[in-house]
């Protein structure tokens, strides 16, 4: 991938860009093998990769500059304001989308927030595209409601000029600290969700619901999870940290009772809509804390799917899992270190296989999928 920002040293997000991609992938595989070495024996499969540029389906841009000359990008490691609207990680459609957003900021006179003076209103632009339909979801992260009326006033003009924009909202984040978004979301359009199709599964995205930034690799990850578990004789499945339901919806069959748990009500609303559209009566989703749900249950799943944040499951949830004693555990992780630490806490479970999915080319990050089997009682 050729990147002018990297050459100029104005952006260092893709820290490994100078390393040939084949070498990047080899190094990630070697690092994963090293981290998981204490868990041998197990099968470490070849890494799964995809496009190395133009693969992102969403953008998080800091809004800088002024309302007359807005900048969408970053304040870099040298303290410089850098416009990233032609970053090669984004498909070409994002360039036109960013231009429309800048025009709207000028039209509505939205004042970018200045972290030094603590003045201004518009902090971030969060933009997502459905790779299925080409439609967009746009979120303005604001310090307060002061500019909401201006956004409402001028939004019809934006929607008329940008017919692919289907969902638009304002997120309120009043705190003066490094927090991307707040709890309150004001949806400004009649449509609240973007539909997309991943493999043969319909999924929905809306504000405050998480989905992977690399849809090509997400499709391979979910299909692999389906393939690994299709022959398992299980009828009760839990998917903790289920998000919009990617794993649960792919693993559901007419003979399995699947329960998805996610703290985000917005994500659960999306997942429930997908289940209804697929006609799955034995698949339910609940907006609950995953650890609290697991600890409160009397019955146990035969297959437990977990996809925790970077910090991992932690000792308390690992202890709960050992008490539940699912026969199989499917663990998807974005942090191999916390993954390995969790597996070593799960006494009585043997890692059967692991595979790396390179969701984040040119960085040290990767997604790892693991299948574990209970080999003895943990009581």
User: What is the H or E stretch that residue 259 is in?
Assistant: strand 257-262
Is 74 domain-assigned? yes
Dihedral angle over CA of 336, 342, 347, 349, nearest 10: -50
Quick one: tokens of 63? 């809004």
Quick one: tokens of 187? 């949806």
Same domain, 19 and 156: no
Same domain, 76 and 175: yes
Is 154 domain-assigned? yes
| Dmax (CA) of the chain | 66
Quick one: tokens of 126? 């969060």
Quick one: tokens of 309? 């944040």
Residue 336: which CATH number? 3.40.50.150
Total domain count, the chain: 2
Is 201 domain-assigned? no
Is 163 domain-assigned? yes
Same domain, 254 and 363: yes
Is 176 domain-assigned? yes
Same domain, 136 and 74: yes
Cα atoms in the Cβ-side hemisphere of radius 13 Å centred on 317:
22
Among candidate residues 244, 251, 262, the one with its CA nearest the CA of residue 204? 244
Quick one: tokens of 307? 């996809």
Q: What angle do CA 203, 204, 209 make, to 5 degrees?
A: 120
- 345 is in which domain, residue-wise? 13-52+214-374
Mark out the alpha helices in 279-324 (DSSP H runs): 290-296, 314-324
Same domain, 79 and 160: yes
Q: Cα 337 from chain centroid? A: 19
- What letter would DSSP give residue 376? S
pLDDT tens for the chain, residues 1 to 379: 889 988 888 898 999 999 999 999 999 999 999 999 999 999 999 999 999 999 999 999 999 999 999 999 998 888 889 999 999 999 999 999 999 999 999 999 999 999 888 899 999 999 999 989 999 999 999 999 999 999 999 999 999 999 999 999 999 999 987 788 999 999 999 999 999 999 999 999 999 888 888 999 999 999 999 999 999 999 999 999 999 999 999 999 988 999 999 999 999 999 999 999 999 889 999 999 988 998 898 889 999 999 999 999 999 999 999 999 999 999 999 999 999 999 999 999 999 999 999 999 999 999 999 999 999 654 4
Phi, then psi, of 113 in degrees rounded to 5: -80, 135
Same domain, 160 and 288: no
Same domain, 17 and 126: no
| 3-class SS of residue 74 | strand
Among candidate residues 198, 200, 208, the one with its CA nearest the CA of residue 167? 208
Same domain, 68 and 40: no
Same domain, 234 and 343: yes
Is 208 domain-assigned? no
pLDDT at 291: 87
Verify whether residue 3 is a known catalytic residue: no
Among candidate residues 343, 323, 325, the one with its CA nearest the CA of residue 333? 343
Quick one: tokens of 266? 């917005």
Is 2 domain-assigned? no
Same domain, 363 and 321: yes
Quick one: tokens of 296? 């409160």
| Among 11, 14, 334, 370, the one annotated catalytic | 334
Residue 137: which CATH number? 2.40.50.1070
Contact 138, 165 (CB under 8 A): yes
Same domain, 90 and 33: no
């Amino acid at each position: 991938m050729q990147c002018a920002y990297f050459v100029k040293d104005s952006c260092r997000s893709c820290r490994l860009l100078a390393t040939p991609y084949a070498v990047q992938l080899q190094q990630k595989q070697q690092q994963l093998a090293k981290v998981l070495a204490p868990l041998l024996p197990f099968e470490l499969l070849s890494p799964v990769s995809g496009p190395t540029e133009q693969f992102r389906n969403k953008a998080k841009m800091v809004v800088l500059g002024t309302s007359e000359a807005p900048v969408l990008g970053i304040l870099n490691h040298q303290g410089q304001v850098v416009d990233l609207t032609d970053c090669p990680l984004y498909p070409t459609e994002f360039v036109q989308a960013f231009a429309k957003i800048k025009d709207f900021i000028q039209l509505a006179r939205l004042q970018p927030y200045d972290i030094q003076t603590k003045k201004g209103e518009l902090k971030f632009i969060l933009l997502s595209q459905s790779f299925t339909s080409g439609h967009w979801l746009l979120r303005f992260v604001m310090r307060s409601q002061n500019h909401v009326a201006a956004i409402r006033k001028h939004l019809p003009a934006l929607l008329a000029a940008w017919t692919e924009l289907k969902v638009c909202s304002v997120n309120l984040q009043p705190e003066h600290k490094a927090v991307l978004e707040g709890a309150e979301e004001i949806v400004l359009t009649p449509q609240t969700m973007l539909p997309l199709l991943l493999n043969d599964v319909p999924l929905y995205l809306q504000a405050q619901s998480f989905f992977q930034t690399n849809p090509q690799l997400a499709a391979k990850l979910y299909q692999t999870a389906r393939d690994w578990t299709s022959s398992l004789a299980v009828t009760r499945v839990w998917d903790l940290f289920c998000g919009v339901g990617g794993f649960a919806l792919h693993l559901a069959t007419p003979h399995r009772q699947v329960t998805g748990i996610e703290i985000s009500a917005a994500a659960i609303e999306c997942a429930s809509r997908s289940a209804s559209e697929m006609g799955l009566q034995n698949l339910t989703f609940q907006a609950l804390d995953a650890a609290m749900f697991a600890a409160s249950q009397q019955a146990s799943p035969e297959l437990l799917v977990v996809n925790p944040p970077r910090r991992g499951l932690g000792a308390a949830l690992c202890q709960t899992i050992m008490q539940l004693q699912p026969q199989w555990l499917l663990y998807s992780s974005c942090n191999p270190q916390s993954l390995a630490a969790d597996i070593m806490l799960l006494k009585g479970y043997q890692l059967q296989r692991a595979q790396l999915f390179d969701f984040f080319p040119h960085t040290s990050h990767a997604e790892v999928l693991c299948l574990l089997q209970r080999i003895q009682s943990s009581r």
